[in-house]
């Protein structure tokens, strides 16, 4: 399935241009015809196209080179397909070899077939729309952020990120609550990096991965002979974290006896190695995380109430699951594509709107971690410059999962900012089709174009 695009067809033969336009419209594209340079340039100024198909390089009424340059100057994301006579093929190849924004996408030699033009336009549209989407994702939303690797624009996550900044500056213990894969360790790292302890040790212990005996030894250390295999004294992670931060991941899985010992360390700042009768003082900031409901665990006698109160002093930071902030998915997808490109020395350009729609509508039980793993696999295995539906895992290609769009909070935004965001979201809904967006917004295409220019969204 090709991307829906706005295509400007520029040529001196109106009949041939109409034949091409009819074929493109059958494929779902919006088209406009122009027979002369002035008309084409004016059309580009009024509404920058996704793709330009133009005769090249020049004629009496039509200067294809000027049309090409006008399109690229007005909209660098626009892709240009050249139609040349056999004698002009060298000029077309030169245009394909240009560096930077003045490079043509491809060319066709006359006589051209409408079906061949359709094929070229489909490929060019994918590239143009992906480039536009990347730019809009980076520049389009005033609420988009990347805070210590936490990427999004949703109000739900932004609220918690704001709290992270506040609690990071305090000395209090912090509890982070969220489903598996939501990024709890990223939050803990952000708290440490933005605290007065930044630059000091940051230690991590997964409480669910160790038995009670091993967990006690890991946290508090042990002395030689404390148990079978203790052939030497070992410093615990609490001592190693002295002056810095200790992140206790999945603290809800910590055995009850260990919870009592941890509470003593929290209250006294003292640790007693296994097998030792002496204590050592440490200065450690505790950050804990869990995917469990600790209040429920308290009622079931699986978690100490006094430890929960100690951890919950400032209220928990709650990381929303990905299905509750699906407006962040496009930003995350493009971030993970760039990340996978850099890590694997690849050059995937982006993702098609249809594939992105599938990803956005999925329920993501594994949250951001699952999304990152899927995108990395797609980038590594894809043989095309654009990730498509065919690159998705089998379970996602046919998914019918629908995640309702959460109601965004516009509190604190001006009316102009609200309108700008509404236009951006409507264009995303229509895959960038401006005519459909104008109909949904109940305004004329001319009014929509004016607002796009006004808000810098061209």
310-364 per-position pLDDT tens digit: 998 667 899 999 988 888 898 899 889 988 988 888 888 888 878 888 898 888 9
Domain final position from 275, 300, 319: 319
**CA distances for 316 relative to 175, 176, 196, 263, 264, angstroms:** 5, 6, 20, 18, 21
Closest CA to 167 of 324, 312, 325: 312
Residue 445: its pLDDT value, please? 83
Whether 406 shows a pLDDT value over 50: the answer reads no
Residue 96 belongs to some domain of the structure: yes
Mean pLDDT of 366-371: 94
Contact call for residues 110 and 86 (beta carbons, < 8 A): yes
How do residues 252-274 score in pLDDT, each as one tens digit? 999 999 999 999 999 998 988 88
Residue 134: its pLDDT value, please? 64
Residue 421: its pLDDT value, please? 76
Most confident of 132-136, 239-243, 410-414: 239-243
What's the structural domain count of the chain?
3
Whether 2 shows a pLDDT value over 50: the answer reads no
Residue 136: its pLDDT value, please? 57
Q: Are residues 310 and 192 in the same domain?
A: yes
Whether 300 shows a pLDDT value over 50: the answer reads yes
Give the separation between CA 46 and CA 39, rounded to whole angstroms.
11
Encoded tokens for 53: 């198909």
Which of 115-124, 144-153, 388-397 bottoms out in mean pLDDT, i.e. has the lowest? Answer: 144-153
Domain final position from 105, 135, 165: 135
Residue 140: its pLDDT value, please? 45
**CA distances for 337 relative to 280, 371, 378, 380, angstroms:** 47, 11, 9, 10
How do residues 69-113 score in pLDDT, each as one tens digit? 898 888 888 999 999 989 888 888 888 887 766 788 999 999 999
H, E, C per residue of 100-128: HHHCCCEEEECCCCHHHHHHHHHHHHHHH
Residue 189 belongs to some domain of the structure: yes
Question: Which CATH number does the domain housing residue 385 bear?
Answer: 1.10.8.60
Q: Are residues 200 and 105 in the same domain?
A: no
Name the residue with higher pLDDT: 394 or 294: 294
Give the separation between CA 380 and CA 345, rounded to whole angstroms.
10
Domain final position from 135, 167, 196: 135
Q: Are residues 235 and 102 in the same domain?
A: no
Give the separation between CA 13 and CA 20, rounded to whole angstroms.
11
Which of 125-139, 149-163, 214-228, 431-445 bottoms out in mean pLDDT, i.e. has the lowest? Answer: 125-139
Q: Are residues 118 and 197 in the same domain?
A: no
Q: Say what percent of the chain tops pLDDT 90.
A: 37
Give the separation between CA 259 and CA 123, rounded to whole angstroms.
59
Residue 458: its pLDDT value, please? 57
Q: Are residues 270 and 223 in the same domain?
A: yes
Residue 406 belongs to some domain of the structure: no
pLDDT band for position 139 (cuts 50, 70, 90) = low
Whether 400 shows a pLDDT value over 50: the answer reads no
Q: What is the pTM of this model?
A: 0.60
Residue 116: its pLDDT value, please? 93
Q: Are residues 58 and 195 in the same domain?
A: no
Contact call for residues 403 and 326 (beta carbons, < 8 A): yes
Contact call for residues 9 and 71 (beta carbons, < 8 A): no
Identify the bridge partners of residue 387 per DSSP, sorted by sequence position: 351
Scan for tokens 């104008």, then name that residue.
438
H, E, C per residue of 228-249: CCCCCCEECHHHHCCCCEEEEE
Q: Sheet holding 51-55: strands in order across?
A: 30-34, 6-10, 51-55, 79-84, 106-109
Whether 388 shows a pLDDT value over 60: the answer reads yes
Distance of CA 36 to the CA centre of its chain: 42
Distance of CA 368 to the CA centre of its chain: 10
Whether 403 shows a pLDDT value over 50: the answer reads no
Residue 263 belongs to some domain of the structure: yes
Name the residue with higher pLDDT: 147 or 300: 300
Q: Are residues 243 and 308 in the same domain?
A: yes
Residue 119 belongs to some domain of the structure: yes
Domain span holding position 112: 6-135
Contact call for residues 258 and 205 (beta carbons, < 8 A): no
Residue 446 belongs to some domain of the structure: no
Q: Are residues 377 and 255 in the same domain?
A: no
Question: Which CATH number does the domain housing residue 61 bear?
Answer: 3.40.50.2300
pLDDT band for position 1 (cuts 50, 70, 90) = very low
Whether 380 shows a pLDDT value over 90: the answer reads yes
Residue 14: its pLDDT value, please? 85
Residue 428 belongs to some domain of the structure: no
How do residues 208-249 score in pLDDT, each as one tens digit? 988 888 898 889 988 887 777 777 888 889 999 999 999 999
Whether 405 shows a pLDDT value over 70: the answer reads no
Q: Say what percent of the chain tops pLDDT 70.
A: 90
**CA distances for 35 relative to 63, 70, 416, angstroms:** 10, 15, 38
Name the residue with higher pLDDT: 228 or 30: 30
Question: Which CATH number does the domain housing residue 209 bear?
Answer: 3.40.50.300
Residues, the chain, total?
458
Cα distance between the two ends of the chain: 25
φ, ψ (nearest 5 deg) of residue 125: -65, -40
Residue 452: its pLDDT value, please? 83
| Backbone region of residue 136 per phi and psi (left: phi > 0; alpha: psi in -120 to 50; beta: other values) | alpha
Give the separation between CA 365 and CA 286, rounded to whole angstroms.
28
Residue 367 belongs to some domain of the structure: yes
Residue 404: its pLDDT value, please? 40
Whether 285 shows a pLDDT value over 90: the answer reads yes
pLDDT band for position 251 (cuts 50, 70, 90) = very high
Residue 138: its pLDDT value, please? 54
Hey, CA dihedral for 113, 114, 115, 119, is it positive or negative?
Answer: positive
Q: Are residues 216 and 274 in the same domain?
A: yes
Whether 303 shows a pLDDT value over 90: the answer reads yes
Strand locations in 145-275, DSSP E?
Answer: 145-147, 150-152, 174-178, 202-206, 221-222, 234-235, 245-249, 270-271
| Residues in contact with 72: Cβ distance below 8 Å, sequence separation at least 6, in sequence order | 78, 80, 101, 102
Q: Are residues 208 and 297 in the same domain?
A: yes
Identify the bridge partners of residue 146 per DSSP, sorted by sequence position: 151
In degrees, rounded to 5, the angle at the alpha carbon of residue 186 between the alpha carbons of residues 180 and 191 is 125
Q: Are residues 180 and 244 in the same domain?
A: yes
Hey, CA dihedral for 197, 200, 206, 212, is it positive or negative?
Answer: negative
Residue 256: its pLDDT value, please? 93
pLDDT band for position 155 (cuts 50, 70, 90) = confident
Q: Are residues 175 and 231 in the same domain?
A: yes
């Amino acid at each position: 399935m090709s991307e829906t695009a706005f295509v400007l067809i520029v040529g001196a033969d109106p009949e041939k241009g109409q034949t091409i336009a009819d074929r493109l419209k059958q494929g779902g594209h919006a088209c406009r015809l122009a027979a002369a340079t002035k008309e084409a340039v004016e059309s580009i100024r009024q509404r920058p196209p996704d793709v330009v198909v133009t005769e090249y390089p020049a004629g009496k009424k039509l200067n294809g080179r000027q049309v090409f340059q006008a399109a690229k100057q007005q909209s660098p994301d626009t892709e240009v397909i050249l139609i040349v006579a056999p004698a002009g093929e060298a000029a077309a190849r030169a245009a394909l070899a240009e560096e930077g924004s003045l490079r043509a996408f491809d060319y066709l030699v006359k006589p051209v077939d409408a079906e061949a033009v359709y094929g070229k336009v489909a490929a060019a549209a994918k590239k143009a729309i992906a480039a536009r989407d990347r730019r809009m994702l980076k520049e389009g939303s005033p609420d988009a952020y990347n805070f210590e690797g936490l990427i999004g624009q949703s109000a739900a996550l932004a609220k918690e990120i704001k709290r992270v900044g506040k609690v990071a500056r305090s000395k209090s213990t912090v509890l982070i609550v969220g489903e598996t894969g939501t990024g709890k360790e990223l939050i803990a790292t952000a708290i440490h990096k933005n605290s007065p302890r930044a630059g000091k040790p940051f230690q991590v212990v997964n409480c669910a991965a160790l038995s009670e005996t091993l967990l006690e030894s890991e946290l508090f250390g042990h002395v030689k002979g404390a148990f079978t295999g203790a052939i030497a004294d070992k410093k615990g992670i609490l001592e190693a974290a002295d002056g810095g931060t200790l992140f206790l991941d999945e603290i809800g899985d910590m055995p009850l006896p260990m919870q009592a010992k941890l509470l003593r360390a929290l209250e006294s700042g003292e640790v007693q190695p296994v097998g030792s009768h002496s204590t050592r003082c440490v200065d450690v900031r505790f950050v804990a995380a869990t995917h469990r409901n600790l209040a429920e665990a308290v009622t079931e006698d699986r978690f100490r109430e006094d430890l929960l109160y100690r951890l919950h002093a400032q209220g928990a930071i709650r990381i929303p699951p990905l299905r509750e902030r699906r407006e962040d998915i496009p930003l995350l997808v493009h971030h993970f594509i760039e990340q996978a490109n850099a890590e694997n020395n690849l050059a995937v350009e982006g993702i098609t709107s249809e594939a992105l729609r599938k990803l956005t509508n999925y329920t993501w039980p594994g949250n951001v971690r699952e999304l990152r793993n899927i995108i990395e696999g797609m980038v590594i295995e894809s043989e095309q410059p654009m990730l498509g539906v065919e690159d998705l895992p089998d379970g996602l290609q046919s998914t019918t999962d629908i995640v309702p769009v959460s109601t965004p909070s516009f509190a604190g935004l001006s009316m102009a900012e609200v309108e700008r965001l509404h236009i951006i979201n409507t264009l995303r809904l229509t895959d960038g089709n401006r005519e459909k967006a104008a109909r949904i917004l109940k305004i004329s295409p001319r009014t929509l174009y004016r607002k796009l220019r006004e808000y810098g969204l061209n």
